[in-house]
Structure 1
């Protein structure tokens, strides 16, 4: 029986790598699939891994209709055995419902990959709907690490090197981006443990604090 599977983890946990590996494994057995993504850091219609792997993909915009796309493909004689859906946190709840319908009605396997919460520690609507509907939700076993060495559980956004907890939910950036001069990028992301996310203590800020001079022993 076909299944809707949701693989999740923080940024830097290897979700896109696993998505590409999953596609490779199924294609190697003669299965025919489609790869989808949304707002990948490599640009529109691409899926990319931080290990350097890339693949062309179909870009999922809010108005994209998975059900209509699939029915049209099958009606025109195309073959579809599975879907690889990367950056699934950016899909709308309705799109997630369409993917579940495709699994149930058309017996097409759907493998979704994405993060659970945004930089405000709130569930993405697409991820929330996946948790509610998926046959299986799997947490990636590769643990991303906070700068302190503890397991990273939260995704932080920085603007000009300063952590922020307000703003637009979808802003494309990468983990620990740096400009050519070595300064923090205008918008970047960093994975943190809960304690340091709560304190707003990024790696750069922690380093600045550790390098601050000790107060003079006066008074």
Structure 2
């Protein structure tokens, strides 16, 4: 959370389009915070997109230079398998953005499968309130960090906070007075 994953996805899409390349932007069908077929970053960038699941069901070999997927952690492992098939069968570049772990520090199924199949993995760095690198996504409810609940609960800054390991373990979401 707060690492500019979506902004990066939209900027990469822009770079491909600017070079005259054919690119499609995808997101999971369950991700509806920004509207049905829209991807929007917190800094105000936005573009239309398709649902990954529908796109892959209908895909018939059409040429794309790049497929960019946002919120990849919410995709099923089978969808990740199909994305890797596009790379191997059609030579399409597929770039995915998403979280590795949930608020309990457990892998999302989609992220797990992506980690198993990806050719390259790059982390987009973000920082904890203390300034250290943040690896954990804390779920916040009524001003407190929670570690129980459904794995998928859509939300933004009001519901999640990036923390370093130390502060995640200590459940410390802000400096102590």
1:70 to 59, 65, 90: 59
In structure 1, C-alpha distance between the alignment counterparts of 2:16 and 2:95, rounded to whole Å: 11
Runs of 5+ in structure 1 lacking a partner? 1-10, 178-187, 211-219
Corresponding residue of 2:102? 118
Number of aligned residue pairs: 175
Q: For 2:50, which of 58, 63, 68 is the aligned residue?
A: 58
- Aligned-pair distance for 1:125? 0.8
Secondary structure of the corresponding residue to residue 114 of structure 1 = coil
Give the alignment's TM-score, normalised by structure 1: 0.75
Cα deviation for residue 66 of structure 1 reads 4.8
Q: Equivalent residues in 2 for 1:163-174 (5 A)?
A: 163-174=145-156
After superposing on structure 2, the runs of 4+ consecutive aligned residues of structure 1 that deviate more than 6 Å are none
1:34-72 CA-to-partner distances (Å, cap 9, x unmatched) read 111131532332211121111111134xxx25543221x
Determine whether 1:28 maps to 2:18.
yes
Match of 1:159 among 136, 141, 158: 141
Q: Which residue of 2 aligns with 1:97?
A: 81
Which protein, 1 or 2, shows the higher relative CO under an 8 Å CA cutoff with sep ≥ 6? 1
Q: Which residue of 1 aligns with 2:5?
A: 15
Deviation at 1:94, TM superposition (A): 0.3
Q: Which runs of 5+ in 2 are unaligned?
A: none
In structure 2, distance between residues paired with 1:163 and 1:44: 29
Alpha-carbon distance between aligned partners in 2 of 1:148 and 1:51, rounded to the nearest angstrom: 22
1:13 Cα offset (Å) = 1.1
Is 1:44 matched with 2:36?
A: yes
Instruction: Judge conservation of contact 1:36–1:59 (CA < 8 Å) in 2.
Output: yes
Between the aligned partners of 2:102 and 2:35, the Cα distance in structure 1 is 20
| C-alpha distance in structure 1 between counterparts of 2:4 and 2:10, whole Å | 10
TM-score by length of 2: 0.91
